[in-house]
Amino acid sequence: MLPGTSPGNGSDPGAGGLPVHRLEVPMPNALPFAIGTFDTIGPMSRASFPHRHTFHEIVYVTGGTGSHVVDLTSFTLRPPHLCFIAPGQVHYWDGVRGLEGRVVVFTDDFLLERPADRALLRRLGRRSWLELPERDADWAARLVAEMDHEYRLGAEGFGGVLRALLHILVVRAARLPAPDRIHQQPAQAHVPTRTPPVATRFVALVNAPHALPWSVRECAGHLGVSVSHLNEAVKAAMGRTPGELLRQARVHEAKRLLACTELTVRQVADRVGFGDPAYFCRFFRRETGATPGDFRRGDGDIHHDHRIASIAPPGPSA
């Protein structure tokens, strides 16, 4: 499994549920990004059973046979391919042999300075599987190779370079045509339950670029459903409760405001729904391991660019 995923911390699906894999960063100043082969990222990168992620995954497939199933649609492997899987989507590999390529995983925190990329990635997730004509395969191969090299080198400022390369990859991928319908078919095995409409609307609400209703009750009212129905639908679809997803959204927005604006901590607290700055500071520290001030100064900042130790190759850290 990917770092931090074990039955004790959320990867266990529970009764009738789907496994939820997390990319857990072991310390507040670790870079929430990794790239590697299917082997170096780990066996869960080629899991043959339906599961969800709490992070983004981009797969660049250069070899192999079989199919990849994303949200009930099975895509036949005819490499090279680019595949974009957004948090919450269900996917698995079916009957795959000789799978080769690179896997890129990262959390929303990696996109703090590029919120437009976050929206674009979720749009790409809705069409997921992209076939690459020769000329497009060339630039995709170069960009993925550059990301892999930059990550392994770990030189000064490599986090910024990785974000720039990822931005180019995402923008260029968004220009590619939708997948060829001839190579798609409904998945026949391991068919997971479709995401309930209320869960889809809740995720869209959480990801919307405006002030959120910061409580589950407010969200339920906004969506016109009961709190119990919202809890049941979102937990079944996402493997996480609405409360957990709202806390994640508040932390992400607070990090973005601390990293990218000159707002005071009191103003940031108010923007993310906390009337009491002291309570906001306690909440932020509990969720991130750093105070808002430490995060802004860099003591707990993801921009320190330390790699995830369990994925990064041996050698001195940046």
Domains of the chain: 7-186 (2.60.120.280), 197-303 (1.10.10.60)
For the ranges 15-24, 90-99, 222-231, 259-268, the lowest mean pLDDT is seen at: 15-24
Pair type for strands 91-106 and 56-70: antiparallel
Residue 56: partners with Cβ closer than 8 Å, 6 or more residues away: 84, 85, 86, 87, 105, 106, 107, 108, 121
The Cα 82–Cα 186 span in angstroms is 20
Cis amide prior to 277 (ω within 30 degrees): no
The pLDDT tens digits of the residues spanning 77-132 come to: 999 999 999 887 878 899 999 999 999 999 888 888 888 898 889 889 888 889 89
Q: Which residue has the higher pLDDT, 234 or 195?
A: 234
Look at residue 126 in the predicted model and tell me its pLDDT. Answer: 81
Residue 175: closest CA among 106, 123, 134, 138: 123
For the ranges 150-154, 199-203, 237-241, 307-311, the lowest mean pLDDT is seen at: 307-311
Look at residue 271 in the predicted model and tell me its pLDDT. Answer: 86
The Cα 158–Cα 182 span in angstroms is 40
* Confidence band for 294, pLDDT divided at 50, 70 and 90: confident
For the ranges 99-108, 135-144, 233-242, the lowest mean pLDDT is seen at: 233-242
